[in-house]
């Protein structure tokens, strides 16, 4: 339930009644850092671009499945794009105001509306398969895997639905803190488990079949004298690779956890509004001040830190070839050396913010801007 009364606080928006904070709602007090001049040492270019409709004030991350890309906009349009050439395969107008991007597998494409309606479409044709009414608004990206769709609504209810029929398999209701970020803590489905980022810095692992908890890990421990100081929610999507699942929190830490038993492998103090990135050697983070950092995946030791993008409201970083890529509030994509953090390349898109995490699709990087450009980026 929304309440129109708002109270502005530095860099955040507190919504009375919702008891939520929006880390993207207000502009930072600091001006975005000017872009530094440099000599590019990595060639990047736009392969193709499609206009798919604006994201408004929401975050719409596309989904990639084999050679198809699925994307949505706030006005309720969902598209399927051929990743090889950017051509439109199908387009569906749902007539709903959507609140988040898409989850997809070989068979279904799933979105959610601002009033909590979950909609599944046939991945091949774009035709409606089923609908499910959630308890409240959904901001987290629907997760699809193991024949299951998992959604989390803002009242902290996690629901698993059969991907074919939409029938509810199980649900889990967790207590919501009195104050939480108005954000989209992510869900990951893999190898029979569902990993859910939660308010108060928790990461939860559940059985995808039954919803029974396997473990719960503390990515951060809320601390401080006031409720605002104790907000330490998981930010963005956790990232999973091998036996590591890593997540970051607002006013907390970035940490990696053993997927087998939930044991904390390492943690470092950090405040971020977006999730981390990961590859075979490193974990990458973009903190709330716009600092990009790399940590050793094995033990969390500091590898490098780059402060050239301060206050540019960065997207979550993603490993892309020999670079780590990150978008900013002015529509630039920046490519830094994975090993050293040096700036390798920069690419302008449409001038609007890149808030959704870029997605790697084979040799391409797929980016969706707030003004509705879907682009495929290639490197040398």
Res 175: pLDDT: 79
Distance separating alpha carbons of residues 31 and 302, to the nearest angstrom: 27
Q: Tokens 């609007």 identify what position?
A: 352
Can you give the length of the chain in residues? 380
pLDDT in tens, 299-355: 999 999 999 999 999 999 999 999 999 999 999 999 999 999 999 999 999 999 999
Res 221: pLDDT: 81
- pTM comes to 0.90
Residue 143 lies in a domain: yes
pLDDT band at 200 (very low <50, low <70, confident <90, very high): confident
For residue 66, the domain's CATH number is 2.130.10.10
pLDDT in tens, 54-68: 999 999 999 999 899
Nearest to 267 by CA among 232, 242, 317, 291: 232
Whether the Cβ atoms of residue 260 and residue 243 lie closer than 8 Å to each other: yes
For residue 184, give the H/E element and its range: none
Residue 1 lies in a domain: no
Domain count, the chain: 1
Residue 30 lies in a domain: yes
The boundaries of the domain holding residue 259 are 6-379
Residue 287 lies in a domain: yes
Return the sign of the alpha-carbon dihedral for residues 230, 12, 118, 145.
negative
Instruction: Please compute the mean of the pLDDT values over residues 163-192 and round it to a whole number.
Output: 84
């Amino acid at each position: 339930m929304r309440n129109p009364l708002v109270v502005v606080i530095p860099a955040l928006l507190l919504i009375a009644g919702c008891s939520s904070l929006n880390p993207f709602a207000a502009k930072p007090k600091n001006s975005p850092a000017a872009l530094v001049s440099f000599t590019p040492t990595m060639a990047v270019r736009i392969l193709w671009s499609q206009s798919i409709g604006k994201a408004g004030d929401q975050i719409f991350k596309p989904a990639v499945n084999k050679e198809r890309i699925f994307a949505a906009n706030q006005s309720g349009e969902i598209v399927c794009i051929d990743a090889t050439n950017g051509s439109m395969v199908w387009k569906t107008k749902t007539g709903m105001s959507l609140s988040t991007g898409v989850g997809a597998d070989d068979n279904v494409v799933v979105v959610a509306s601002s009033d909590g309606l979950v909609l599944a479409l046939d991945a091949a044709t774009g035709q409606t398969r089923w609908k499910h009414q959630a308890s409240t608004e959904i901001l987290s990206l629907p997760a699809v895997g193991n024949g299951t769709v998992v959604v989390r609504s803002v009242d902290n209810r996690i629901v698993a639905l059969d991907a074919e029929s939409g029938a509810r398999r199980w649900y889990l209701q967790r207590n919501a803190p009195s104050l939480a970020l108005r954000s989209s803590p992510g869900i990951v489905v893999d190898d029979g488990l569902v990993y859910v980022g939660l308010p108060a810095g928790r990461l939860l692992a559940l059985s995808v079949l039954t919803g029974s908890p396997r473990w719960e890990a503390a990515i951060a421990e809320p601390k401080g004298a006031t409720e605002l100081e104790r907000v330490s929610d998981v930010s963005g999507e956790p990232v999973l690779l091998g036996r590591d699942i890593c997540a970051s929190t607002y006013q907390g830490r970035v940490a990696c956890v053993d997927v087998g038993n939930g044991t904390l492998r390492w943690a470092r103090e950090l405040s971020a509004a977006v999730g981390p990135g990961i590859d075979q050697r490193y974990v990458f983070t973009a903190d709330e001040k716009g600092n990009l950092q790399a940590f050793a995946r094995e033990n969390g030791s500091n590898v490098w830190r780059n402060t050239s993008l301060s206050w540019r409201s960065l997207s979550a970083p993603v490993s892309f070839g020999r670079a780590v890529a990150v978008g900013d509030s002015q529509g630039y994509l920046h490519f830094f050396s994975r090993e050293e953090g040096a700036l390798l390349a920069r690419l302008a898109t449409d001038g609007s913010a890149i808030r959704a995490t870029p997605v790697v699709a084979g040799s391409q990087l797929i980016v969706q801007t707030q003004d509705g450009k879907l682009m495929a980026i290639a490197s040398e």
